[in-house]
Amino acid sequence: MDPLVLVIDDEESMREACSQILAKGHYRVETADNGAAGVKKFRDLRPDVVIVDLKMPGMSGFEVLDSLAAFDPAIVGIVITGYATIDSAIEAMKKGAYDFLPKPFSPEELRLIITRGLERRRLFLEAEALRREKRLIEDHFITLVSHQLRSPLVAIQQFFEVMLADAGRDSESRFQDMIHRASERLEGLLKLINDWLDLARIEQGRLAGKLHPVDVAAIVDSQVAFMAPAARQSQVTLEWTPPAGPVPAVLGDKPCLEQVFANLIGNAIAYSKPQGGRVRVDLKEEAEDIVVEIQDTGIGIAKEHLPLIFDQFYRVSRGEARRSQGSGLGLSIAKKIVEVHRGRIDVFSALDVGTTFTVRLPKRRADRAEI
């Protein structure tokens, strides 16, 4: 079907001239003699292009442009006027007009500007369709991974746990080590899938739920306690002194923040030197932020790697610490979660000295509503 052009102008001669010019270019044309009538026709007909006079009694061309953009962001609005000025042209563009055509204009000028405008609209609509398709694929990806991959793997892991329990009763079982290794690999695969899902939800703005006042000190305290057995197993000293008094709350999602500190403390333990390493966790209050530092005495990260460690799937080979297996997504997820909370995560590291991650989260303010 030929493109539909709506001409809104209070001058009958201009409406008629535009109609004749566009009819020769195989366009369908509708007209309106004032702004209000034009907006109504636009809502009813949804044209591809609107030609609107800037100076009209009643509803001005600027007001028409405002109304059109609210209904169709892809609309191609072309302003025509006999009182063209630079200021009026700039104002028309701010209102969302595609172009500005001073009167009088030739038939070729009008047809050319409409042709370019229609191409711009086509590209815009194609881009929107691609964005919708991308969102649909992402939604399907989350569903696929959650139900078609993750669920069967969880069931298999449970079977392995039962088999390991049975094999444990027989110290001579030649299958025990094989089952244990398979279970570890399966656990790593499940962690990778969960990290993929978290990353997809973050990028869609769906990971953090409704934000509420949360106690960061309590979150850190619980994660230190959770990680303590792993530290003891690696003979790494885990140090943490809870604040003596209450700490101002931050506006946050508790499970997400737990994930951040579990990842950072777990990494610090894993990347510390075994048998004598030390991880220290500190929390302090600054003017606007609650600041948490996780410091380890590991072998550190080379300077050239520091700008890349928050990239997805980026893993730094750190000697003995390579015994720690991961997806390469943990730090990327942690950074994105902190940014969702309007915070910041920084890292300082020196080879043979250690690494310090600093998380800054803004304090909850009375004027900031829950979101």
Contact 239, 283 (CB under 8 A): no
Q: How many domains in the chain? A: 3
Same domain, 143 and 270: no
Going by pLDDT thresholds of 50, 70 and 90, the confidence category of residue 167 is low
Share of the chain above pLDDT 90, in %: 27
Residue 94 sits in a domain of what CATH number? Answer: 3.40.50.2300
**DSSP-assigned beta bridge partners for residue 292:** 283, 359
Give pLDDT, residue 306. Answer: 84
* Cα(150)–Cα(28) distance, integer angstroms: 54
Residue 145: exposed, middle, or buried by beta-carbon count in 10 A (0-12, 13-18, 19+)? middle
Tokens of 330: 């943990």
Q: Does residue 324 fall inside a structural domain?
A: yes
Tell me: do 171 and 284 sit in the same domain.
Answer: no
- The residue from 203, 223, 246 where one domain ends is 203
Amino acid 87: pLDDT: 72
Local confidence band at 73 (pLDDT 50, 70, 90 cut-offs): confident
Range 202-208, long-range pairs (CB < 8 A, 24+ positions): 202/333, 202/336, 202/337, 202/340, 203/138, 203/336, 204/135, 204/138, 205/340, 207/253, 207/256, 207/336, 207/337, 207/340, 208/252, 208/253, 208/256, 208/337, 208/340, 208/341
Q: Who has greater pLDDT, 99 or 188?
A: 99
Which of 54, 50, 39, 72 has its CA nearest to residue 3? 50
Tell me 58's DSSP state: S
Cα dihedral 266, 324, 203, 312, rounded to 10, equals 130
Residues 46, 137 within the same domain: no
Across the strands, what pairs with 6? 30, 50
Please tell me the distance from the alpha carbon of residue 310 to that of residue 332, in angstroms, as a whole number.
5
Q: Which of 156, 176, 203 is the last residue of a domain?
A: 203
Query: Please, are residues 219 and 247 in contact by the beta-carbon 8 Å criterion?
Result: no
Residues 223, 184 within the same domain: no
We report the CATH number of the domain holding residue 333 as 3.30.565.10
Q: Is residue 318 domain-resident?
A: yes
Please check whether residue 243 lies inside any domain of the structure: yes
Greatest mean pLDDT among 232-236, 272-276, 291-295 lies in: 291-295
Q: What is the pLDDT of residue 223?
A: 94
Q: Are residues 151 and 273 in the same domain?
A: no
The pLDDT tens digits of the residues spanning 120-154 come to 888 988 888 888 887 777 666 666 666 666 666 77
**Per-residue pLDDT, 176:** 67
The answer as to whether 114 is a domain residue is no
Q: Are residues 219 and 357 in the same domain?
A: yes
In this structure, are 302 and 245 located in the same domain? yes
The reply to whether 121 falls in a domain is no
Q: How far apart, in whole angstroms, are the C-alpha atoms of residue 239 and residue 219?
A: 15
The CA-atom distances, in angstroms, between 206 and each of 193, 200, 202 are: 17, 8, 6
pLDDT tens-digit map of 239-269: 999 898 889 999 888 888 998 999 899 989 9
Q: Give domain status of residue 128, yes or no.
A: no
**Tokens read off for 207:** 């990971």
Instruction: Give me the phi and psi of 267, to 5 degrees please.
Output: -65, -40
- At 7-40, the pLDDT tens digits run 999 889 999 999 999 888 889 999 999 999 999 9
Query: Do 179 and 317 fall into the same domain?
Result: no
Position 118 in a domain: no
Do residues 358 and 216 both lie within one domain?
yes
- 338 and 234 in a single domain? The answer is yes
Whether residues 223 and 255 share a domain: the answer is yes
> How far apart, in Å, are the Cα atoms of 67 and each of 63, 90, 110, 153, 194?
6, 18, 23, 53, 45
146 and 227, same structural domain? no
Domain final residue pick, 173, 203, 233: 203
**Residue 111 in domain:** no
* CA–CA dist 288, 296 (Å, integer): 26
- Domain interval for residue 230: 212-362
Residue linked to tokens 């669920």: 151
